[in-house]
Structures are given as C-alpha cells and as structure tokens.
Amino acid sequence: MRSVLTNYIIAIIRILGLMALLQVSACHRGADYIPDKEYPKLPCKVLGACDATVMKYLKKFNKRGIKVITIGQDYLISIPASALFEDQTPHLKWASYGLLNEIVIFLKQFRKVAINVTSYSSKYVSVHRERALTLARSRVVGEYLWSQGIDSRFVFTQGLGSDKPIVSYSQGGDTSPNARIEITFRDAVA
C-alpha cells in the first residue's frame, strides 16, 4: 500500500504532464494573435448615399414650400396638397411626378423599416368626404413610393380628414395649409 505522500506526488506529476501535453499540442497553431487595427463601424448610411445629397434635396424642398422636419432620427416631410393633387381630388397632377421622384431619391438616402403616409384636408362639405379623400390621397402617394422601389419593409397609409389642423383657416379647398400630405419615417442606425 502506498503512502498518502506518494499518491499526492503521483497526482501532481500527472497534472503537470497533462499541462505540458496541452502546451505542446497548442504550439503548432501559428504565431500570436494580432488584433485588427480598424475597429468595426456601425453602418449609418445606405451604400451610395451621402450628406451632400441630403442637403441638396433639403434646399430644393424648402424652395418649393415642402417642409422637412428632423428630430433625432425621426423625419417628417410635409407636402402641400396643392403641390401634388388636383383641387379636391385624389388624382395626381402631371407636374407632381417630378416632385415625388425627388422625394423618392431623398428617402433612398436613409435606412428605414417603415414609412407612414398621412393625408389631411381642410374643412369641406362632410367629415366622411374629408376622410375618404385623404385616405385615397395617402394611398396614391404610398403606392407611388412603393412602385419606385423605396427600401422599406412597410408603407402605412392613413387619411385623417380635417383632424389636426396646423392653422385656423376658414376657407375650404387645397389652398389651405391644413391640406397636406405628411411622410414620416425613422432613420435606422443598423
């Protein structure tokens, strides 16, 4: 029978042998690990997009009476209804296609998951007519944006009639600042 000291020495020798075997077997793997000098960056822009293009379109929109409001990552594009539609109809003007194409180019500068197209009108004959008109207008704009290949998973459309007026304007029609189309989206970082 072995003594306790002998068993202890044998256990230590076995552990040291196992450690030496692991070190020797790991030596053939190559040189030391050298980390990359460049740190990975989070993507913030779409390939081919640039800030100069965004600024160019912001100036163009401002000259045409289109407001672009940004709060952090949230964007709101407010377009007067008279710039896109015939008076009190959901039919696009021929001249509005160029404007919508510029808006599509602007939207393609950002990563986004969803786009909301909301249409408003001024007070008119009936609440039901206002809602039907604004819903039809928002659907027309949403379908056109989708047909132009914007990179968004969802395009939501909503017609709110004369809800949420921005000024108190007694006259009806599309000359009112309340008759507008708002396109909202959030710029996704990754």
7-50 pLDDT, tens digit each: 888 889 988 888 887 777 765 555 666 666 665 554 556 666 77
Whole-number pLDDT of residue 68: 93
Using the CB atoms, write b or e for 146-179: b if 16+ within 10 Å: beeebebeebebbbbbbeebeeeeeebebebbbb
CA distance 16 to 30: 23
Could you tell me the pLDDT band of residue 117, with boundaries at 50, 70 and 90? very high
CA distance 83 to 65: 9
Q: For residue range 127-180, what is the model confidence (pLDDT) as tens digits?
A: 888 899 999 999 999 999 999 988 778 899 999 888 887 777 666 677 778 889
Residue with tokens 């450690």: 19
> 134 vs 189, which has greater pLDDT?
134
CA 141 from centroid of its chain's CA atoms: 17
10 Å CB burial of residue 139 (0-12, 13-18, 19+) is middle
* CATH architecture, domain defined by 51-186: 2-Layer Sandwich (3.30)
CA distance 40 to 56: 30
Let me know how long the chain is: 190
Coil, helix or strand at residue 186: strand
Whole-number pLDDT of residue 77: 95
Domain residue ranges of the chain, discontinuous segments joined by +: 51-186
